[in-house]
Amino acid sequence: MENAWKEIQPKNIYRIVRMLPNTDLASEALLHLYQPIMGAQALALYLTMTSEINQLTGSSEESLHAELLTMLNCGIPQFYEARSKLEGIGLLNTYKKDSSELGTVFVYQLLSPMEPVEFFKDTVLSFHLLNTVGEKKFQRLVQQFEPKTFHVEGYQSITKKFLDVYGWQNQELIEKSEKLERVTEKFQLLQARKPVANELEVLNWSFVEELLKRKLGTTVHLTDTIKELFSLYHSMYGVDELELIELSLPAFDMMSGEFNQKELQRVLTVSTLPNNKKQVPEAISNEGPDEELRRWNTLRQEGFNEEELALIKDSETIPPMIYLEAIKEQKGGFVSKEETWLIQDLINKSPLKNSVLNILINYVLVVKNNASLTRSFVDKIANDWSQLKLQSPEAAIRHLKSVKKEAAKKLETAPRRTGQKRVRREKLPDWLNKPQQETAADPKKQAEIDRKLQNYLAKKEGDH
């Protein structure tokens, strides 16, 4: 959690603002739908921030983070993680600026939760909720919040229209139209929130629809939601078009001519997917053997060794989830739900290619020798790499080499400080103590990990 201390200090000032209050339904969604995904600490942070806002002004007073930490009874790392979870799930926007007088100042903009109907329309949020609470609890939540219908066959509607009851005053409307327009403009400033799930254009949809037509004997219209599910599993697990169709057929409803979304999530998540993982390249390369050979020779001339070239090849041929599972197994660990969600979010939100994400995974778990992928640490790296527009695994490796070289150079040229004047510092509570620095792993472990990775993947392929 070293990055948390670099990002926030207890002395930093913050202010909280919000555009709209939560509705009753949104509050229900926050407790029953959002909280299982983001956890109790993030919920406590959201509710604490909400309590500080003046309902008339829509803003809080300026305060120190130390006061907020005291109310939450947590430290900087725990606060940073909770804040990140709120940001990632679409409940918080964070802004900061550096002031010569006040130092770093933060503004936290609270966003209202989606109401349940909109929440369940979002593929990624529904997927996370299903994985968190399990099939039985998920279905109970669906039943609790799904729109209820009432059949009115045999009844005649006698409902009166608005104008029949309240009338219409044209002259008064003309006189007050300018004032009404100003009010309308205020509410039009609010843009519709984009869903967490973004369609991933990685599958050949015309090919998918043609294959479905051959299998089912009828034309199938794929909705955006179904496309999101297919793309998500393709990106995470490397399931290609043929496999996706075979796995998804039980979820197709011949009566309606459409896929049942809930059943599709079930067959892809719970039953057959773990037994159908396969190595596939992230994209079909248009390069011929000569171009490919020139690429490797050019990288060798730049100074890339054979272990690094093998790492690049692995990163381009193995989906991120399979890559993560392989490394975790060879280290004697396992992939947690939080890590699965993290990889899914990176695939959905970041512009980084799967091959670059694999280099990131390798860096955190092998080079840095961390036991697991921590969201705050990984998000920081992914954001940096996205802003640097690292579009290939070799570009990511070059960047890591450059950062390491620059750090070593600064360490060598740093002047030795002697006789420094002692400065009195306030003793902070135990929960504000800064965690220890990370220690890098032995680089020689990389070759051993690569060898075990290949053995693991060969074994997996042999299981099919």
225 domain-assigned = yes
67 domain-assigned = yes
218 domain-assigned = yes
For each of the chain's 464 residues, which pLDDT tens digit applies?
Answer: 556 777 888 888 889 988 777 788 888 999 999 999 999 999 999 999 999 998 888 899 999 999 999 999 988 989 999 999 998 888 999 998 988 888 889 999 999 898 888 888 777 788 788 888 888 898 899 889 888 777 878 888 888 887 778 776 666 666 676 777 777 666 655 544 555 544 344 577 777 887 788 777 778 878 877 887 787 777 666 666 777 777 788 888 877 778 887 777 766 765 444 334 443 344 434 455 667 788 888 888 888 888 888 888 888 888 788 888 888 887 888 888 788 878 877 876 778 888 899 999 989 988 888 888 888 888 888 888 988 888 889 999 888 888 888 777 776 666 655 555 444 444 433 333 333 344 444 555 666 666 666 665 565 555 54
196 domain-assigned = no
Residues linked to residue 415 through DSSP beta bridges, in sequence order: none
156 domain-assigned = no
Q: What are phi and psi of 423, to 5 degrees?
A: -115, 130
Cα diameter, the chain: 93
Q: Which of 224, 212, 301, 230 is nearest to 268 (CA)?
A: 230
266 domain-assigned = yes
Distance between CA atoms of 198 and 388, rounded to whole angstroms? 22
Residue 181: C-alpha distances to residues 175, 177, 189, 227 (Å): 12, 6, 13, 40
Distance between CA atoms of 62 and 57, rounded to whole angstroms? 13
What residues make up the domain containing 50? Answer: 2-114
Task: State the total domains in the chain.
Answer: 3
Asked if 262 and 319 sit in the same domain, the reply is: no
Asked if 242 and 107 sit in the same domain, the reply is: no
Q: What is the pLDDT of residue 433?
A: 37
Asked if 350 and 450 sit in the same domain, the reply is: yes
Q: How many CB atoms lie within 10 A of CB 9?
A: 15
Q: What is the pLDDT of residue 439?
A: 45
Asked if 272 and 306 sit in the same domain, the reply is: no
Asked if 314 and 260 sit in the same domain, the reply is: no
Asked if 337 and 224 sit in the same domain, the reply is: no
Asked if 364 and 457 sit in the same domain, the reply is: yes
Distance between CA atoms of 117 and 403, rounded to whole angstroms? 46
- Collapsed DSSP state (helix, strand, coil) of residue 17: strand
Asked if 448 and 333 sit in the same domain, the reply is: yes
Question: Which structure tokens are listed for 69?
Answer: 């930490």
Distance between CA atoms of 272 and 135, rounded to whole angstroms? 15
pTM of the model: 0.48
DSSP code at position 54: B
Q: What is the DSSP string of 262-293?
A: HHHHHIIIIISGGGG-----SS-----HHHHH
Asked if 306 and 262 sit in the same domain, the reply is: no
DSSP code at position 110: E
Asked if 314 and 252 sit in the same domain, the reply is: no
Q: What is the pLDDT of residue 32?
A: 92
- Name the domain boundary from 92, 114, 136: 114
Asked if 258 and 371 sit in the same domain, the reply is: no
173 domain-assigned = no
Asked if 260 and 368 sit in the same domain, the reply is: no
Residues linked to residue 99 through DSSP beta bridges, in sequence order: 103
- Name the domain boundary from 90, 114, 138: 114
Distance between CA atoms of 270 and 129, rounded to whole angstroms? 14
- CATH code assigned at 75: 1.10.10
- Name the domain boundary from 77, 99, 114: 114
